[in-house]
Chains A and B, each alone.
Chain A
Amino acid sequence: MSEGRTLVRRARYVVAIALLGSLVVALPHAGVGQAPYPKAIRIAIVTFSSGQGAVVGGPTVNSAKLTIEEINKAGGVRGVPLEAQYVDEAGGPSHNATEFRQLASQGLDAIVGYVSSADCLAVAPIADELHMLTIFTDCTTNSLFEGHSHPYVFRTIPPASTNALAGALYLLKTTPGVRTVAGINDDYAFGRDEWKYFTEALHTFRPEIQPVAALWPQLGAGNYSSEISRLLAVHPDVVYTSLWGGDLIAFIQQALAQGLFQRSKVVLSLATEGDVKGLEALPAGVIGGSENTFLFHPGPIGDAKLRQFVEVYKNRFGQYPVITYVYTIKNSLEVLVAAYRRALAASGGRWPTKDDLARALVGLRVNTLLGPLVIRSDHQATYHEEYGVTVRTGQYPFAVFNNVIHFPAELLMPPVGTTAEAFIASLKPDYLEKIPSPVVYPTGR
């Protein structure tokens, strides 16, 4: 009797093993032909939604939502929609490093965003370590890519040196009588970069211009009364500042109150990175940069697509899209989607891996709303820059810019492998002739 049971047991074992074995052999071949596309492209968008940087987050999230809707309405990437979760960048570099690891562990397809250079510098090595595809929307410090290569990290905006160089060039082109300059910049990588390249550019073409004071408040300080008093005491011809976000708004308000704008010519290299509130307070005659995006000017907007976008954004969110961050996040998302499309075309329809995407991003050219954007082999972007001078017209409740110089992308970028410092020092006087003349828009007055 027991022999019979043992036999049956053995038979059961054999059948079970055979079944399992056949499954093990068969399963890898189940997907042969084409792996199914994922249900969605899952990304995280990291931006400031609280604290002093929160003025950034609002427009970023608005624009991201609008852009993702557009992308998905047009069918996404071969039918696969884009899905984003929004993460707060506030909390400092070490907080962001932890947060990044946590996001990467969720198996996301990409992490997009980041504004503060300090956060990007903290996060980039982790992206390398975890092979996490990361697209920085801002964080323009040159030190990110100079001397370092990050295989999975890309940035869809040119480095700070282009913004600072353009500022210096604008000044040289439009305000020839400058003798002394002073700077007030945040004391971290980005602020240091901006002042360095600005003064270097001035020195290359006009070595007699003297920097007479360089002030370094902490990022997020908010109270600039001591620094403004010093600037008033020193009385330079030009004050250059790369303050941004909430700091810029506070600075503008305090500078207005103490009369700095009347005493010196002020250059706000990131004029459109405060808030509409900051632009509403600005008097006429202030030089401002757009950080490689767009300056609102008197009169109607020439480009039809841009004009339409402005209307759509205004109607949807009740605010004009004056802030840089509206355009930078849009560019990042469009670049990501273009990379997917390019990788799919290259692989004959096979869904791309992170390495495929990284490869597709190099050399990618996207026609964005504001112009062509190219990602170079060093993972940096080539894009235009705009500087102008504020005027108050009745057309908008905020200051707009006239005498706008639209700097073509290639003019400002250091060649691949060259540091911005070396590039700027190597510029010859005939370089100034390549700069386009300021465009004067009729103000109808």
Chain B
Amino acid sequence: MVTTALTVLVNGLIDGATLFLVAAGLNLIFGVAGVLNVAHGSFYAIGAFGAATAWVLISQAHAPPWLIFPALGAVAAVVGAGMGPPVERFLLRSTYLGRSRVRSESLQLLTTYALFLMLEDVQKLVWGVQPYYTGDILLLLGRTRIGGVPYTNYQLLLLLVAAGVLLGLRVFLRRTTMGRFVVAVTENAEMARALGINVGWVWGASFSLGTALAALGGALSSPEIGVSIGIGADMVVLSFAVAAVAGLGQIEGAALASLLIGVGRAIAVFVAPELSTVAPYLLMLAVLLVRPYGLLGVPEQRRL
């Protein structure tokens, strides 16, 4: 019984780790810029494709396999820094502060959805329609037994990275000046600007960071899936569920929600396998019924 519980917990953590990376990015972007980015899943997919390409290149050049690990980080950074600023500056910024809230939100939704569709085609153009299987990466680091069940050390690495990101984000937001600027802009962008903060810079940087996080999630999970068209769409839906459970804009909430949903799915696999696909959404329903703004969410205050 205890070992089963342990297995469920470990599985839940591992499952939740990738989810957290993606959902944290989504929530960061929403918190700072108020944009619910439908295309967030596309950055996840591009991160995964980038990682697959990196592995193919490393294998073809017969380079030492451990190079893939820094490569994964590099892919995330490149996607974040390369795609983040232009997308934010030229596509999304015009949708932030509309005169009427209604127009602004539907415009955001349409814009980000259009971006999602465009990025799907970009993926097809660049990487083709055949799937990439890079599961041999999983074999690189060996195995560890936890509660009698062997796990790959790669999966445990994923957990470590997610924990590191969570800690890093907390420190960044609470202890660094830049982080405080981000919090300020999240609270009240106009006031922040009035106080001399370069709000445009903050938006751009936050968007890049959020995008990089999604790409990192994609890159890290790429050996565990078949990287092909459609993984972006799947991740969009799931990450939105996580963000809803967390409370929009809550980064620490994203950690809690990811853990909850990861463990929920793991429990389903053990107890009711038929429900394993539906479990995250059932959980979302349950949480939202009790706390409509998410676990840690606060109702938005109207500003005049």
Contact = CB atoms under 8 A, between A and B. Distances in A.
Given A52-B226, A225-B15, A257-B135, A233 B3 contact: yes
Interface in B230-276: 230-231, 265-266, 269-270, 273-274, 276
B131 A257 contact: no
B147 to A, nearest CB: 8
Nearest to B269: A226
Contacts of A281: 135-136
Interface in B143-194: 143, 147-152, 154-155
Interface string B14-26: 1100000000000
Interface in B209-247: 221, 223-226, 228-231
B131 A55 contact: yes
Interface stretch (A14-22, A111-119, A245-253): A245-253
A250 B225 contact: yes
A223 interface: yes
Nearest to B153: A257
B60 interface: no
Contacts of A246: 131, 133, 226, 228
B123 to A, nearest CB: 11
A275 B130 CA distance: 12
A438 B200 CA distance: 72
A221 to B, nearest CB: 8
B114 interface: no
A425 to B, nearest CB: 24
Contacts of A250: 133, 135, 224-226
A226 B266 contact: yes
Interface residues of A, number: 40
B220 to A, nearest CB: 12
B152 A230 contact: no
Contact of A225 (B11, B228, B229, B270): B11
A169 interface: no
A58 interface: yes
Contact of A222 (B14, B225, B229, B276): B225
A215 B273 contact: yes
A55 to B, nearest CB: 7
Nearest to A274: B133
B7 interface: yes
A259 interface: yes
Contacts of B155: 225
B129 interface: yes
Contacts of B154: 257
A223 B269 contact: no
18 contacts: A49-B129, A50-B124, A50-B129, A52-B230, A215-B269, A215-B273, A218-B277, A222-B231, A225-B14, A226-B276, A227-B269, A227-B273, A229-B7, A230-B7, A249-B133, A254-B138, A256-B135, A257-B135
Interface in A238-275: 246-247, 249-250, 252-254, 256-259, 275
* Band of interface residues on B: 35 or more
Interface in A177-204: 187
Contacts of B135: 249-250, 252-254, 256-257, 281
B139 interface: yes
Given A216-B273, A225-B11, A257-B135, A51 B230 contact: yes
A66 interface: no
Interface in A320-336: none
Nearest to B231: A222
Interface in A21-79: 49-52, 54-55, 58
B131 A226 contact: no
A214 interface: yes
B4 interface: yes
A249 B14 CA distance: 21
B150 A232 contact: yes
Nearest to B277: A218
A217 interface: yes
Contacts of A90: 229
B130 A54 contact: yes
Contact of A217 (B129, B138, B277): B277
Nearest to A259: B150
B139 A257 contact: yes
Contacts of A51: 129, 131, 228-230
What is the interface of chain A mostly: helix, strand, loop, or mixed?
helix
Given A54-B129, A216-B273, A246-B131, A259 B7 contact: no
Given A187-B277, A256-B139, A257-B154, A232 B129 contact: no
A277 interface: yes
B14 A216 contact: no
Residue of B4, B15, B155, B224 with most chain A CB atoms under a 10 A cut-off: B224
B8 to A, nearest CB: 9
A249 B152 CA distance: 17
Residue of B10, B11, B154 with most chain A CB atoms under a 10 A cut-off: B11
Contact of B15 (A218, A226, A256): A226
A193 B259 CA distance: 34
B11 A223 contact: no
B126 to A, nearest CB: 14
B152 to A, nearest CB: 5
A187 B274 CA distance: 8
B228 A226 contact: no
Given A250-B133, A258-B143, A222 B226 contact: yes
A230 B133 contact: no
Contacts of B265: 226
A246 B229 CA distance: 12
Q: Which 10 interchain pairs have the tightest Cβ spacing?
A: A253-B135, A50-B129, A257-B138, A222-B225, A246-B226, A259-B150, A232-B149, A226-B269, A257-B152, A222-B226
Given A52-B230, A233-B7, A249-B135, 12 more contacts: A51-B228, A54-B130, A226-B11, A226-B265, A226-B269, A227-B273, A250-B224, A256-B135, A257-B139, A258-B152, A259-B143, A281-B136
A189 B138 CA distance: 31
Contact of B151 (A50, A221, A253, A258): A258
B1 to A, nearest CB: 12
A82 B184 CA distance: 69
Contacts of A257: 135, 138-139, 143, 152, 154
Nearest to A263: B150
A50 B227 CA distance: 11
Contacts of A225: 11, 14-15, 155, 224
Nearest to A235: B148
A249 B229 CA distance: 16
Contacts of B231: 222
A54 B273 contact: no
Residue of B139, B265, B266, B270 with most chain A CB atoms under a 10 A cut-off: B270
B125 to A, nearest CB: 13
